[in-house]
Amino acid sequence: MFFNKQFVAILFNLVAVSSLVGGEEARVVFHDGFEELLPGAFSRVMWARGESHYLSDSEPKGNWTVACYSSQADSQRAWKVIEHDGHRGLLQTYTPDQDKHTHPLVLAGYPSWRDYTLTVRFQPLSDKARSGIVFRCENSRRYYFFGVEGAKAVLKRIDHELAFRKPNETLLADADFQWTPGSDLIAEISVTGDSIEASMNGKHLFSARDASFPAGRIGLTSDIPTRFLEVSLSMTAAEKSRVDQTISERTRIEAELQAAQPAMQLWKRFPLKDFGVGRNLRLGDLDSDGDLDILIGQIRHHGPKDRFSELSCLTALTTDGKILWQLGEPDVWKDHLTNDVAMQIHDLDGDGKTEVVYTMNQEIIVADGATGQTKLKHPTPLAIPDEKNPA
């Protein structure tokens, strides 16, 4: 199905300027043509570093936040800002192969958005999998989806999973819908209470009722390359007032909770020299003096990637910065990590004095907490061969 571009623009703008939500006139409260975004990569490869470190690439860009990605590098760099027909757009480039339990997804808006009309102009470049919009999204595992999947328009509810990596997806409605990859599609969803009305290219397709998700953010998602070109959301004046009040009240409560917490103050400062680490430290009384001490471990990855890890350096020190003992070789370049490693403080023999259990040089070692001297050690077991992730 092909549409004249001028007709599409007029159709989209008419929908965006004024629409009905629950029978009442609504006005646009959110509109994005992606013009404020710089052309280029929108999402980048971060692996698991974002779990342990602050990375500016994980921050929202414009109105949008990358909600999820898999361990596949192409999944992590799936989103790009493009120029198309003289305008900016957001291009999703990834086609999931094995990791079909998750979907490329970017989110915008507020969790308090409840009754609204969402209109999105997009161009799926293939008909081999789903492409469309997300609404009333609570998180990346609970939301509604409306879009195209093959020669059908579908409305689905995604609600966690049935089993490991098997999403719990319920088809709420569908309809035959003929379209051509690369052509303009204008998806429109209106939600009021448990009522869902779905239209595509100005034609009402189906209605459904579902109360699983009463409110939530909006999103863009696809399992095939897709250009998303324009997004508009409208709601009634009464709903806008309710949303504003909800956001204001939430902001007030957050500020009160923050003010009630003790303010951080600098207590002590001491250098970690070349044995510092991102998050891999433990606290415990190592020298039995009644005060907590600090155990810092630097990691060596035998690979591939960050697999098969053990300690390369282990440093015990007091909260005054006094080094009690150090094992291995410190390395100033080991300033970040993406995983934990075997390292713990515990009184294993129940004598009231702590031991340190750690792995280094392919051995699991029990050491005296006060001195670091080895009390017991044993070779770590060989890894079980894995055809998908070979050693």
My answer on whether 155 and 83 are in the same domain is yes
Higher per-residue pLDDT: 52 or 369:
369
Angle at 370 between CA 366 and CA 375, to 5 degrees: 25
Higher per-residue pLDDT: 51 or 333:
333
Separation of alpha carbons 253 and 140, rounded Å: 25
My answer on whether 212 and 288 are in the same domain is no
In a domain, 384, yes or no: no
Domain hosting residue 367, numbered range: 281-379
My answer on whether 291 and 243 are in the same domain is no
Q: Residue 373 is which amino acid? A: Q
In a domain, 185, yes or no: yes
pLDDT at 12: 53
pLDDT at 14: 43
| Cβ atoms of residues 92 and 79 within 8 Å | yes
My answer on whether 238 and 295 are in the same domain is no
Q: Which residues of 212-233 are buried (b: 16+ CB within 10 A; e: fewer)?
A: ebebbbbbbbbbbbbbbbbbbb
In a domain, 133, yes or no: yes
Domain of 311, CATH number, reads: 2.40.128
My answer on whether 77 and 203 are in the same domain is yes
For residue 192, the surrounding DSSP H or E stretch is: strand 185-192
pLDDT at 174: 97
My answer on whether 298 and 185 are in the same domain is no
pLDDT at 5: 47
My answer on whether 185 and 63 are in the same domain is yes
pLDDT band at 156 (very low <50, low <70, confident <90, very high): very high
In a domain, 256, yes or no: no
277-324 pLDDT per residue, tens: 877 889 999 999 999 999 999 988 888 777 888 999 999 999 999 999
My answer on whether 286 and 210 are in the same domain is no
My answer on whether 54 and 122 are in the same domain is yes
104-151 pLDDT per residue, tens: 999 999 999 999 999 999 999 999 999 999 999 999 999 999 999 999
Looking at residues 32-44, what average pLDDT do you find? 93
55-82 pLDDT per residue, tens: 788 888 999 999 988 878 888 899 999 9
Domain of 66, CATH number, reads: 2.60.120.560
Alpha-helical (H) ranges within 289-355 are none
Looking at residues 240-267, what average pLDDT do you find? 96
My answer on whether 140 and 44 are in the same domain is yes
My answer on whether 112 and 217 are in the same domain is yes
Separation of alpha carbons 339 and 345, rounded Å: 18
Number of domains in the chain: 2
201, 234, 249 - which closes a domain: 249
In a domain, 52, yes or no: yes
* Residue 84 φ/ψ, nearest 5 degrees: -145, 120
Identify the burial level of 118 via C-beta atoms within 10 angstroms of its C-beta, where 0-12 means exposed, 13-18 middle and 19 or more buried: buried
My answer on whether 337 and 207 are in the same domain is no
In a domain, 306, yes or no: yes
In a domain, 116, yes or no: yes
Number of neighbouring beta carbons within 10 Å of residue 334? 20
Residues making up the chain, counted from first to last: 391
In a domain, 276, yes or no: no
pTM over 0.85: no
| Cβ atoms of residues 299 and 310 within 8 Å | yes
pLDDT at 23: 65
Whether the predicted pLDDT of 7 surpasses 70: no
pLDDT at 66: 94
